[in-house]
């Protein structure tokens, strides 16, 4: 009983009735639903819709995206594609592939169904539509009066929706036939994996094909065939054997969480042992341990899982054994499910060993509660990079598809079973795979091949692999983004006439007469910051920090802004930089290059003789940098007594003040922590990595750093003052005492008399200063490196998330802090710029930066991106250090940082590399004994000499580079000499 009414405005209204049940009750909901005739088909071949376009609130007309000359099939048919829900859910990778799927119509009902089933896939689909380069459109079939269909009596909602998709395809056919401007109307192909629905569609005269048939009918179908995701059934040969415990039902887990018997948290696999992981839940202070395949129950590193506690007699301490995926299950046969023994013998032995130990230590406080995974709320599945295990490929079978294992680069993840016809070809290549499912009767997760990056150890393949592994967006900027850049391109200039009627330009302060210069690493292309200083008549100093005015070009709510926000940060690899913003801005228009006029955002202080702030002003400005120095050049200029020009003198003022600022920070308890940072020198001609050196710090490094800190602090106070609820800030929490427990315990045993106190950052700094071994200069640095790993990570936050006392930046020992000085490469700084511009009344602050919820989303994303970028950078250095070592084997000094019952971890300061030496590499495994109390491992080495090594010991190691046979990863291998 649908009542339809035509309204005067041309709309038809109907009432949609549906029943919703919640909490046992049941509600009838009636909603209005308007049908209209002015929804365009978005085809350029149509000469009807173009006459009936309606503008949006900004007055923009919709773009007709679908080409009038779309792609052809093998047999020549030009076509558009209509996809159904299951195809999107299963094959989103294929939709994103640049080799196929152009001119695609996504019916609204499909979009809605996708959103209800998987929000991440929905977002990817929306991104495809937005980017426009693959010509995807959403057709609102539910709002179109010719395609809206009502649910029939006794028809299930799914059947109704399938019918709606069919109707949509049919409508396109009719519509294009009627209004086509070309002679042969474009055909529509419905790609649909449901056999019954396909049959119905064909009966209605629609060209419906399964995904496989469709790909097959493309000219490049052969190439794409392997990319079709596996359907579940294809692997299920021996469905009878059930290996893993089944997951609990949703209702059971919901009830369990409610009454406190089940807990939810993010699962993390242990770095050194893939059969062990932990889940940190709000209910417990310590993480819950999860040990063994059955208890892990198919959880991936990073999944949101629900766990159940195990009885107390199963509680134990974290394992002291190293275990990698490569060492267990290396002999599994990829094709054969039935013979798999889920718990391998090796694993059983290890469990028993651990259990014995747990009973000995019963009652000690080291014991940790254990749990098992009973359900997975959200999978962390993404694209993974790996390589096909050569042992799983059958070289005899020629081109038939075969099942093989892919070993992932990320060692804490299990191998993935895929089916491919190209197994032989893909051997020795870095490939990208995607995980489809992990049924309870399959020992390994099932996935499909996505694409190949190239041969292992080629520069391009390794770099791309690294970027994918760290979830870094590295594709070129889309057209929509580039369209937001200034039309003038490289010729953009600061307007000559400052009084040209532009209100904003009038508000800028002209600082072109100031002697501004920039000091950066050599060959720096994106210069974010520049400085100036001059003495004032009253004996004080005027000091200015000028930051690239990125927000002049990156306006809120543009494609450029959302791309920057989603990238969050630039990523620096040894040989490449992945920009957050397009090159034109980063290295040209925004970059404060010397000798040219640039827009800047300036912070200008009046500082007294002791570098105390007397006054601070913030302004948008125009500057002209006089010189771009490298740290070394600036250092030389300062030291060169013959140079006494004004610019040099102002740098000397800056240096003098910066030393005072630094001293004040140190007195307040700022930490001087350490991490082994190294730099890889690239040969400038061949761009081969040459040598590795530990980064040197000059006085001028710290000159720039001090003023940047000062600017960040001043800006943080200002924006917090203006926007107490949504100011973009950065905090660094004090480390919880438990983090230092283990390190202090080791110190107590190994270095009596030394300890680290953490009551305040001052106390920590002082106690670190006291950890000195007169016989070993490096020991203090080693302790600093180890302490750094016990610290909390600093994080971005919006000011409503914490109370003022918790804003503290522990490491810098200041009460409030933000990032303001690098807007070219960090999105936090972009937000801080906008908020500061709002705070000084330069322009209105966009509503998204005044909305707590939206700020929360921004903050969460940039924290994640920041972390990923750091990891990617480190991984890139690690890779290149490995490459350098390839030709330079040598013996170096190393320090033991960790000890296990079957190996040790050694740090080599010269190269900043850290490596594990397993017992098998040390000597006779049977002779080994591990003294847990003393953190010492004793063994007989291959020469028959018995040795003992413990944490902090200085050892001589041979450093060489080897390629891991299983994962294909080149890494530094250390051997005790």
Q: Which stretch binds Zn ion (CB under 5 A): 44-52, 148-156, 244-252, 263-271?
A: 44-52
Number of residues in contact with another protein under rule CB under 8 A: 36
Asked if 37 interacts with another protein (CB under 8 A), we say no
Per partner kind, with CB cut-offs from 5 to 8 A, the member of another protein, Zn ion, none near residue 34 is another protein
Asked if 451 interacts with another protein (CB under 8 A), we say no
Min CB(80)–Zn ion separation in Å: 12
Per partner kind, with CB cut-offs from 5 to 8 A, the member of Zn ion, another protein, none near residue 184 is none
Tokens matching residue 273: 């042992």
- Classify 601 as helix, strand or coil: strand
Q: Which stretch binds Zn ion (CB under 5 A): 42-50, 260-268, 395-403, 773-781?
A: 42-50
Asked if 1 interacts with another protein (CB under 8 A), we say no
Min CB(556)–Zn ion separation in Å: 34
Asked if 7 interacts with another protein (CB under 8 A), we say yes
- Classify 836 as helix, strand or coil: helix
Distance (Å, whole) CA 208 – CA 784: 65
Asked if 850 interacts with another protein (CB under 8 A), we say yes
Length of the chain: 977
In this structure, the number of other CB atoms found within 10 A of the CB of residue 760 comes to 14
Asked if 46 interacts with Zn ion (CB under 5 A), we say yes
Residue ranges in 118-157 that form contacts with another protein under rule CB under 8 A: 119, 126, 129-130, 138, 140, 142-143
- Classify 194 as helix, strand or coil: coil
Asked if 33 interacts with another protein (CB under 8 A), we say yes
Tokens matching residue 688: 């081969």
Q: Which residues pair with 448 in a beta bridge?
A: 434
Q: Which stretch binds another protein (CB under 8 A): 43-51, 111-119, 413-421, 622-630?
A: 111-119
By CB under 8 A, name the one of 1, 19, 26, 27 that touches another protein. Answer: 27
Distance (Å, whole) CA 676 – CA 285: 31
Residues 6+ apart with CB under 8 A from 87: 191, 192, 193, 211
By CB under 8 A, name the one of 19, 26, 51, 56 that touches another protein. Answer: 56
Distance (Å, whole) CA 281 – CA 279: 6
Min CB(115)–another protein separation in Å: 5
Asked if 49 interacts with Zn ion (CB under 5 A), we say yes
Looking at the chain, the number of H-run helices and the number of E-run strands are 25, 38
Min CB(393)–another protein separation in Å: 42
Rounded to the nearest angstrom, the gap between the alpha carbon of residue 306 and the centroid of all alpha carbons in its chain is 24
Tokens matching residue 307: 């766990």
By CB under 8 A, name the one of 48, 68, 115, 938 that touches another protein. Answer: 115
Per partner kind, with CB cut-offs from 5 to 8 A, the member of Zn ion, another protein, none near residue 942 is none
- Classify 896 as helix, strand or coil: strand
Per partner kind, with CB cut-offs from 5 to 8 A, the member of Zn ion, another protein, none near residue 557 is another protein
Diameter over CA atoms, the chain: 98
* Cα four-point dihedral sign 921, 923, 928, 930: negative
Per partner kind, with CB cut-offs from 5 to 8 A, the member of Zn ion, another protein, none near residue 542 is none
Min CB(54)–another protein separation in Å: 6
In this structure, the number of other CB atoms found within 10 A of the CB of residue 299 comes to 24
- Classify 562 as helix, strand or coil: helix
Q: Which stretch binds Zn ion (CB under 5 A): 34-42, 346-354, 604-612, 632-640?
A: 34-42
Give one word for 365, left, alpha or beta, with left for phi > 0 and alpha for psi -120 to 50. Answer: alpha
Number of residues in contact with Zn ion under rule CB under 5 A: 4
Per partner kind, with CB cut-offs from 5 to 8 A, the member of Zn ion, another protein, none near residue 58 is another protein
For 918, phi then psi, to 5°, come to -80, 155
The contact pattern for Zn ion, residues 268-307, with x = CB under 5 A and - = no contact, is ----------------------------------------
Place of tokens 């059934």: 233
Contact indicator for 362, 314 with CB cutoff of 8 Å? no
Q: Specify the residue, 42 or 263, whose C-beta has the smaller distance to Zn ion.
A: 42
Tokens matching residue 173: 């056919």
Q: Any idea what DSSP says for residue 310? A: P
Min CB(31)–another protein separation in Å: 7
Asked if 65 interacts with Zn ion (CB under 5 A), we say no
Tokens matching residue 325: 């995926």
Q: Which residues pair with 371 in a beta bridge?
A: 309
Asked if 18 interacts with another protein (CB under 8 A), we say no
Q: Which stretch binds another protein (CB under 8 A): 22-30, 588-596, 744-752, 811-819?
A: 22-30
By CB under 8 A, name the one of 2, 4, 13, 312 that touches another protein. Answer: 13
Q: Which stretch binds Zn ion (CB under 5 A): 37-45, 205-213, 821-829, 965-973?
A: 37-45
Contact indicator for 973, 918 with CB cutoff of 8 Å? no
Asked if 41 interacts with Zn ion (CB under 5 A), we say yes
Residue ranges in 840-899 that form contacts with Zn ion under rule CB under 5 A: none
Asked if 11 interacts with another protein (CB under 8 A), we say yes
Q: Specify the residue, 180 or 558, whose C-beta has the smaller distance to another protein.
A: 558
Per partner kind, with CB cut-offs from 5 to 8 A, the member of another protein, Zn ion, none near residue 62 is another protein
Helices 157-179, 195-203: crossing angle, 10 deg rounding: 40
Distance (Å, whole) CA 291 – CA 351: 9
In terms of DSSP bridges, do strands 541-548 and 529-535 run parallel, antiparallel, or are they unpaired? antiparallel
Min CB(180)–another protein separation in Å: 22
Q: Any idea what DSSP says for residue 273? A: B
Q: Specify the residue, 153 or 183, whose C-beta has the smaller distance to Zn ion.
A: 183
Distance of CA 166 to CAs 73, 126, 133, 212, Å? 21, 21, 26, 19
By CB under 8 A, name the one of 525, 557, 891, 948 that touches another protein. Answer: 557
Asked if 26 interacts with another protein (CB under 8 A), we say no
Per partner kind, with CB cut-offs from 5 to 8 A, the member of another protein, Zn ion, none near residue 143 is another protein
Asked if 21 interacts with another protein (CB under 8 A), we say no
Per partner kind, with CB cut-offs from 5 to 8 A, the member of Zn ion, another protein, none near residue 41 is Zn ion
Cα radius of gyration rounded to whole Å, the chain = 32
Place of tokens 């929000």: 119
Tokens matching residue 765: 């700094």
Distance (Å, whole) CA 776 – CA 292: 41
Nearest CA to 381 out of 406, 416, 405 is that of 416
Asked if 57 interacts with another protein (CB under 8 A), we say yes
Per partner kind, with CB cut-offs from 5 to 8 A, the member of Zn ion, another protein, none near residue 49 is Zn ion
Per partner kind, with CB cut-offs from 5 to 8 A, the member of another protein, Zn ion, none near residue 32 is another protein
By CB under 8 A, name the one of 26, 30, 360, 400 that touches another protein. Answer: 30
Q: Which stretch binds another protein (CB under 8 A): 52-60, 298-306, 642-650, 962-970?
A: 52-60
By CB under 8 A, name the one of 1, 19, 26, 29 that touches another protein. Answer: 29
Distance (Å, whole) CA 418 – CA 870: 31
Distance (Å, whole) CA 61 – CA 544: 46
Distance (Å, whole) CA 231 – CA 318: 38
Give the binding site for Zn ion (CB under 5 A): 41, 46, 48-49
Give the binding site for another protein (CB under 8 A): 5, 7, 9, 11, 13, 15, 27, 29-36, 39, 54, 56-58, 62, 115-116, 119, 126, 129-130, 138, 140, 142-143, 557, 844, 847-848, 850
């Amino acid at each position: 009983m649908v009542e339809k009414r035509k309204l005067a405005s041309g709309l038809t209204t109907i009432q949609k009735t549906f029943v919703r049940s919640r909490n046992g009750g049941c509600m009838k909901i009636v909603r209005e639903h308007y049908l209209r005739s002015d929804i365009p088909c978005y085809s350029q071949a149509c000469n009807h819709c173009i006459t009936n376009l309606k503008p949006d609130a900004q007055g923009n007309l919709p773009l007709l995206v679908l080409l009038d000359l779309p792609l052809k099939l093998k047999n020549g048919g030009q076509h558009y594609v209509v996809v159904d829900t299951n195809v999107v859910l299963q094959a989103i990778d294929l939709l994103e592939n640049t080799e196929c799927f152009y001119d695609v119509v996504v019916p609204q009902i499909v979009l809605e169904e996708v959103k209800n089933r998987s929000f991440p896939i929905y977002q990817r689909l929306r991104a495809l539509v937005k980017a426009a380069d693959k010509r995807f459109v959403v057709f609102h079939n539910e709002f179109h009066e010719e395609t809206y269909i009502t649910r029939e009596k006794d028809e299930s909602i799914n059947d109704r929706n399938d019918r709606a998709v069919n109707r949509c395809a049919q409508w396109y056919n009719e519509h294009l036939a009627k209004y086509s401007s070309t002679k042969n109307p474009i055909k529509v192909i419905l790609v649909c994996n449901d056999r019954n629905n396909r049959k119905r569609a064909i009966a209605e005269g629609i060209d419906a094909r399964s995904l496989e048939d469709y790909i097959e009918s493309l000219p490049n179908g052969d190439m794409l065939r392997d990319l079709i995701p596996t359907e579940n059934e294809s692997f299920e040969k021996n469905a009878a054997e059930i290996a893993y415990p089944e997951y609990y039902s949703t209702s059971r887990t919901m009830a369990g969480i409610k009454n406190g018997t089940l807990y939810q948290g993010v699962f993390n696999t242990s770095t050194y042992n893939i059969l062990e992981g932990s889940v940190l839940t709000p209910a417990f202070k310590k993480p819950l341990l999860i040990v063994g395949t059955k208890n892990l129950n198919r959880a991936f590193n990073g999944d949101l899982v629900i766990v159940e506690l195990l009885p107390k007699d199963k509680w134990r301490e974290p394992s002291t054994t190293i275990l990698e995926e490569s060492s267990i299950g290396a002999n599994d046969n990829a094709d054969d499910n039935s013979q798999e023994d889920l718990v391998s013998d090796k694993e059983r032995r290890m469990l028993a060993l651990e259990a014995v130990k747990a009973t000995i230590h019963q009652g000690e406080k080291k014991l940790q509660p254990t749990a098992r995974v009973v359900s997975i709320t959200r999978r962390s599945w993404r694209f993974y990079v790996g390589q096909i295990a050569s042992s799983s490929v059958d070289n005899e079978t020629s081109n038939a598809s075969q099942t093989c294992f892919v070993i992932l680069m990320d060692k804490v993840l299990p191998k993935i079973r895929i089916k491919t016809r190209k197994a032989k070809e893909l051997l020795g290549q870095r490939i990208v795979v995607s995980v489809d499912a992990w049924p309870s009767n399959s020992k390994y997760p099932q996935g499909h091949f996505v694409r190949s990056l190239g041969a292992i150890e080629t520069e391009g393949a390794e770099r791309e692999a690294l970027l994918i592994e760290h979830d870094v967006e590295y594709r070129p900027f889309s057209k929509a983004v580039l369209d937001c850049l200034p039309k003038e391109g490289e010729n953009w200039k600061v307007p000559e006439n400052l009084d040209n009627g532009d209100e904003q330009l009038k508000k800028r302060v002209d600082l072109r007469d100031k002697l501004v210069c920039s000091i950066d690493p050599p060959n720096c292309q994106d210069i974010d910051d520049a400085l100036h200083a001059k003495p004032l008549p009253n004996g004080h100093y005027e000091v200015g920090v000028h930051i690239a005015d990125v927000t002049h070009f990156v306006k809120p709510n543009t494609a450029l802004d959302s791309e920057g926000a989603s990238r969050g940060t630039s990523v620096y690899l040894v040989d490449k930089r992945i920009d957050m913003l397009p090159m034109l801005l980063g290295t040209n228009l925004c970059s404060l290059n010397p000798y040219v006029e640039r827009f800047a955002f300036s912070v200008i202080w009046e500082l007294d003789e002791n570098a105390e702030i007397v006054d601070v002003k913030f302004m948008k400005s125009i500057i002209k940098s006089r010189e771009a120095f490298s740290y070394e050049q600036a250092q030389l200029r300062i030291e060169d007594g013959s140079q006494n020009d004004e610019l040099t003198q102002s740098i000397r003022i800056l240096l003098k003040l910066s030393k005072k600022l630094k001293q004040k920070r140190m007195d307040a308890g700022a930490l001087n922590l350490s991490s082994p940072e190294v730099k890889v020198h690239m040969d400038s001609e061949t761009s081969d990595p040459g040598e590795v050196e530990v980064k040197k710090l000059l006085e001028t490094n710290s000159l720039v750093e001090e003023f940047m800190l000062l600017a960040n602090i001043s800006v943080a106070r200002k924006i917090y003052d203006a926007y107490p609820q949504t100011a973009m800030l950065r905090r660094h929490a004090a480390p919880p005492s438990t983090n230092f427990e283990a390190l202090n315990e080791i110190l107590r045993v190994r270095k009596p008399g030394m300890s680290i106190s953490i009551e305040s950052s001052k106390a920590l700094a002082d106690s670190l200063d006291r950890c000195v071994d007169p016989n070993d200069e490096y020991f203090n640095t080693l302790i600093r490196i180890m302490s750094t790993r016990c610290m909390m990570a600093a994080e971005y936050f919006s000011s409503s998330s914490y109370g003022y006392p918790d804003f503290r930046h522990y490491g810098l020992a200041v009460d409030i802090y933000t990032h303001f000085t690098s807007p070219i490469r960090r999105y936090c700084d972009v937000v801080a710029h906008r908020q500061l511009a709002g705070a000084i009344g330069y322009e209105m602050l966009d509503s998204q930066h005044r909305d707590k919820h939206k700020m929360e989303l921004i903050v969460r994303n940039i924290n994640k991106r920041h972390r990923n970028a750091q990891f990617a950078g480190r991984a890139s250095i690690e890779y290149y250090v490995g490459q350098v070592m390839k030709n330079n084997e040598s013996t170096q000094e190393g320090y033991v940082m960790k000890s296990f019952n079957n190996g040790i971890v050694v740090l080599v300061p010269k190269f900043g590399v850290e490596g594990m030496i397993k017992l098998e590499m040390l000597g006779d495994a049977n002779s080994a004994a591990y003294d847990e109390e003393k953190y010492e491992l004793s063994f007989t080495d291959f020469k028959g000499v018995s040795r003992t090594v413990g944490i902090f010991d200085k050892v001589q190691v041979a450093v060489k580079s080897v390629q891991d046979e299983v994962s294909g990863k080149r890494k530094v291998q250390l051997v005790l000499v």
